[in-house]
Structure 1
Amino acid sequence: MKKIAIFGVGLIGGSFALALKGAGAVQQVVGVGRTAATLERARALGIIDVACTSVQDALAGAELVLIAAPVAQTGAILAAIAPHLQPGTVVTDAGSTKSDVVAAARAALGPKIAQFVPGHPIAGAELSGPDAAMAQLYRGKKVVLTALPENAEADVERVAGAWRHCGALIHRLGAEQHDSVFAAVSHLPHLLAFGLVDDIARKAHADLLFQYAASGFRDFTRIAGSSPEMWRDISIANQAALLRELDEYMAQLARMRGLLAAGDGTGLEAVYANAQQARHAWNKTIEAAERPAIEGGN
């Protein structure tokens, strides 16, 4: 591609740019952001070639546009893009929720909705900003595309091809199915990690507790170091599905509390054993899926 534009040049957008540059898949990357300092830092790091404050200038001649901003901002960004979106430009996003993004896109783009291909890279870290960007972030990781009925297959493939240049594995889901799946395996775990750390931090003896927290606590709560703004937006955007998963998890905790209160070691062990078996099986599946992409390169 000769030119791409990225709205949001932090971990997600910045890593996308670095990966495409590393693969020789793009000649020019234009960055658009909320603050001049962030854009300048991204330019200094070689993530973007041009820092742009004009949406019109950013889109001029761009073959692909990536929106890598918090999901609550997607509608406003699409509304700003719409008047300047020319035929031949494909827009995609990296949001962790899809039903709300699709609704925002339909409202903002109207008859140009066919040019928007929703997406979600399943990769990240607890760090944020341009300094967190890394060219290898997407190697062997999944990217879910929730293509719309209006999308031309060639446009979907343009987005998929860009992610493949980053080393990613392409999967497809419907928007509602996507949100249901990720409420269970991503959004709920983040809510739980944030909740646990917040609970401990509010205790009178928090300093003592944190003093003795070790690797298990660190691994379980790593994602609580993520952006509060981003996860606030994701939680509200996927509220219905997340509430369903939270209710089911609270019912599971109630069952486990009952086992513990009754001193039912056999019952607790059965829960633990089932979880262990499922965890090992999942881990083997992930390793088998990711290894060919990592070993085989782009």
Structure 2
Amino acid sequence: MRVRRLAIVGLGLIGGSFARALRAAGEVQHVAGFDPDPAQGELALRLGVVDQVFDRAEAAVRDADVVLLAVPVLHTAEALRSCVGGLKDGAIVSDVGSTKQSVLRDVSSICGGLPSWFVAAHPIAGTEKSGVANSFAELFRRHRVIVTPHAGQDPAARALVTTLWQAVGARVVEMDAAEHDAIFAATSHLPHVLAYSFVDMLDRLEHSTDIFPNAGGGFRDFTRIASSSPQMWHDIVRANADAVGSLLDRQIDELQQIRQMMRESRWDEMKALFERARTARERYLTQIE
């Protein structure tokens, strides 16, 4: 057992699943939790996700060996500020935010620089469902977790966080925070923007009531992520606005080019574009985790 006491600040899908997974792996003895929504905390306790729930983050992290900030990225600073006074010497703090540059900036602003005990991480796992009720121990199995070390990083802290993620079945890789944000703007953040926008557009059409009942599996697959937490994705896109905005501009330009092909009946060019996209997806499909 590697962790005597774990504290989860933010008892949602990710925080709850991490607690469940570590407990199932036999890597944690005691789990304390805090959530700003008392109902989530009470539910986490009732489901056995945590052993204790507290009404203040500072109390939840007291005497914890490892603290996980499992909150929306725009609340990282608030979460750390609320609990930093309760951290014991030697405690390790990590996060699960989908943007890493913003998280490192927020941590630095609270601590007057990046502390050696903070390890920035991002599990590439989740579902369109949210809340601790939807958490499960197998969520991270065979998925990547990105760790983005900083210059003042304590190697022992990084090693422990890496080991804990590996213990729950994840594969840990490291990369620079800026590289991380650029990659996930393309593979995750922009797709969510497109899915939300597409569904909202259809819903505002005059005949929308006829569209959705007649939608098939392709529509369900393409729009599944539009069922994700709007607050969470608002925060992610806002935190990574430069990278997402740049890619959105390119996507808009691409769509305008396709529209021009249609106006000019350049169907061979459109087919060629579709074939390139299909070939690219098939080529990289085995690498998608």
Alignment TM-score > 0.5, same fold = yes
- Partner SS state of residue 96, structure 1: coil
Distance 1:285 1:102 in 2: 28
Equivalent in the alignment of 2:100: 98
Equivalent in the alignment of 1:77: 79
Distance 1:203 1:219 in 2: 21
Distance 2:58 2:192 in 1: 36
Decide whether the 8 Å contact of 1:78 with 1:109 is kept in 2: no
Decide whether the 8 Å contact of 2:58 with 2:84 is kept in 1: no
Distance 2:267 2:258 in 1: 11
Decide whether the 8 Å contact of 2:107 with 2:113 is kept in 1: no
Match status 1:252 vs 2:254: yes
Q: Deviations over 1:265-298 (max 9, x none)?
A: 2111111111111111221223xxx6xxxxxxxx
Decide whether the 8 Å contact of 2:129 with 2:229 is kept in 1: yes
Decide whether the 8 Å contact of 1:122 with 1:141 is kept in 2: yes
Residue 55 (structure 1) shift: 2.9
The partner residue of 2:197 within 195, 201, 206 is 195
Residue 166 (structure 1) shift: 1.1
- Partner SS state of residue 2, structure 1: strand
**More displaced 10-residue stretch of structure 1: 130-139 or 275-284:** 275-284
Alignment of 1:63-142 (within 5 A): 63-110=65-112, 113-142=115-144
Task: Could you list the structure 1 runs, at least 4 aligned residues long, displaced by more than 3 angstroms after superposition.
Answer: none
Q: Deviations over 1:180-232 (max 9, x none)?
A: 11111100000000000000111111110111111000000000000000011
In the alignment, residue 226 of structure 2 is paired with which amino acid?
Answer: A
Residue 112 (structure 1) shift: 6.5
Alignment of 1:213-228 (within 5 A): 213-228=215-230
In the alignment, residue 27 of structure 1 is paired with which amino acid?
Answer: Q
- In structure 2, runs of 5+ residues without a counterpart are none
- In structure 1, runs of 5+ residues without a counterpart are 291-298
- What is the number of residues matched between the two proteins? 287
The partner residue of 1:169 within 150, 168, 171 is 171
In the alignment, residue 269 of structure 2 is paired with which amino acid?
Answer: G
TM-score w.r.t. the length of structure 1 is 0.94
Does the C-alpha gap of structure 1 residues 280 and 3 become closer, same or farther in structure 2, counting only changes over 3 Å?
Answer: same
Q: Deviations over 1:149-174 (max 9, x none)?
A: 11111100111111111100101111
The partner residue of 2:182 within 180, 183, 189 is 180
Distance 2:76 2:113 in 1: 18
- Partner SS state of residue 49, structure 2: coil
Q: Deviations over 1:39-60 (max 9, x none)?
A: 1101111111110123333222
